[in-house]
Amino acid sequence: MKTTGPPQIRVEEVSLAFPDGTHALDDVSVTVSAGEMVALVGPSGCGKSTLLRLVAGFEKAGMGAVTTSHHALGYVFQDATLLPWRSVLHNVELPGQLTGVPKASRRESARAAIDRVGLGGFERHRPAQLSGGMRMRVSIARALTLQPKLFLFDEPFGALDEITRERLNEDLNALFEAEPFAGLFVTHSVTEAVFMATRVIVMSARPGRILADIPVPFDYPREPGLRYTQEFAEVAATVSKTLREACEVAA
Ligand SMILES: Nc1ncnc2c1ncn2[C@@H]1O[C@H](COP(=O)(O)OP(=O)(O)OP(=O)(O)O)[C@@H](O)[C@H]1O
């Protein structure tokens, strides 16, 4: 198991209300260090995406402070957000192209990232020729070319079938193990949260507050069969119970 490094993301006592008065977050504090993958779960609309957007700098906190290390940031959304007219290779090259990386060098890192997500051989395919899971892999490869030390995932596998999602969880765990970034991962799946995360944060209904911060005590690599063990079931039950309480208050 890797040791955790210095904090990469610090959210301190943050509250946020949108201009229309929607109170999205209330007194939220989260620290994520290198080597931590923190899953965020909570009732729909509790402010999980808003919290990610704050960390990315797309929103400003009304109160409190958000600080991140000055490293490149990877952001992966539920939609793969690929350009349909571009090949896999050209989609993955895009961040390098936009930031002025010379062609040979950006092509080399794009090819390496495509290999790392298991899509070697599909460089010339267009997004429409790929499955949903493959498109998501392209999206992750594109983020990997930035060599992010901070990685934000906004429910990236929510639209995929169960088995594809499990495979992507396993592959993302392997990427995390190989290069322990600081990760914040929004999901509605308790199994996915516990399988992937080093900690699971459970948020309350809006305005989102932190109800629990539950450590996940499993080493990496995490074998697929971990999901069927008693220890896994116990951690998942703790998360589910807290989440259920949060949702019952919301209902
Ligand atoms: N720009 C905005 N202006 C006003 N309200 C907003 C804005 N963006 C989000 N909201 C509201 O803020 C609350 C939190 O939204 P957010 O998308 O962060 O929730 P979430 O927990 O990610 O939801 P879900 O799990 O359904 O994806 C919601 O009530 C949402 O409608």
- What is this structure's pTM? 0.93
Residues 129, 101, single domain; the answer is: yes
Q: What is the structure's pLDDT at 52?
A: 96
Residues 59, 118, single domain; the answer is: no
Q: State in Å: Cα 232 to ligand 1 middle.
A: 30
Residues 65, 166, single domain; the answer is: yes
Residues 100, 215, single domain; the answer is: no
For residue 78, being part of any structural domain is answered with no
Distance from C-alpha of 40 to C-alpha of 49, rounded to nearest angstrom: 9
Residues 178, 200, single domain; the answer is: yes
For residue 141, being part of any structural domain is answered with yes
- Going by alpha carbons, the residue nearest to atom 30 of ligand 1 is 45
Q: What is the structure's pLDDT at 159?
A: 87
For residue 75, being part of any structural domain is answered with no
Residues 11, 133, single domain; the answer is: no
- Select from 95, 75, 78, 81 the least CA-distant residue to 152: 75
Q: Which domain holds residue 228?
A: 7-70+150-249
Torsion 144-150-153-157 (CA) sign: positive
Residues 187, 120, single domain; the answer is: no
For residue 235, being part of any structural domain is answered with yes
CATH number where 158 lies = 3.40.50.300
49 ligand 1 Cβ < 6 A: yes
Q: What is the structure's pLDDT at 1?
A: 47
Residues 52, 157, single domain; the answer is: yes
- ipTM at complex level: 0.98
55 ligand 1 Cβ < 6 A: no
Distance of CA 165 to the CA centre of its chain: 13
**Which of 148, 167, 185 lies at the terminal end of a domain, its last residue?**
148
187 ligand 1 Cβ < 6 A: no
Distance from C-alpha of 214 to C-alpha of 202, rounded to nearest angstrom: 8
Length of the chain: 251
45 ligand 1 Cβ < 6 A: yes
Residues of the chain with pLDDT under 50: 1
Q: CB neighbours (10 Å) of residue 79? A: 14
Q: What is the structure's pLDDT at 209?
A: 95
**Residues β-bridged to residue 242:** none
Q: What is the structure's pLDDT at 239?
A: 97
Distance from C-alpha of 52 to C-alpha of 75, rounded to nearest angstrom: 9
Distance from C-alpha of 110 to C-alpha of 119, rounded to nearest angstrom: 11
Q: What is the structure's pLDDT at 250?
A: 56
- Going by alpha carbons, the residue nearest to atom 24 of ligand 1 is 44
Instruction: Categorise residue 3: left if φ over 0, alpha if ψ from -120 to 50, beta otherwise.
Output: beta
**Which of 99, 114, 148 lies at the terminal end of a domain, its last residue?**
148
Residues 141, 196, single domain; the answer is: no
Residues 23, 110, single domain; the answer is: no
| Number of structural domains the chain divides into | 2
From the alpha carbon of 53, which atom of ligand 1 is closest? 18
Residues 159, 43, single domain; the answer is: yes
From the alpha carbon of 203, which atom of ligand 1 is closest? 21
**Which of 130, 148, 166 lies at the terminal end of a domain, its last residue?**
148
Q: CB neighbours (10 Å) of residue 163? A: 9
Residues 142, 155, single domain; the answer is: no
From the alpha carbon of 52, which atom of ligand 1 is closest? 18
229 ligand 1 Cβ < 6 A: no
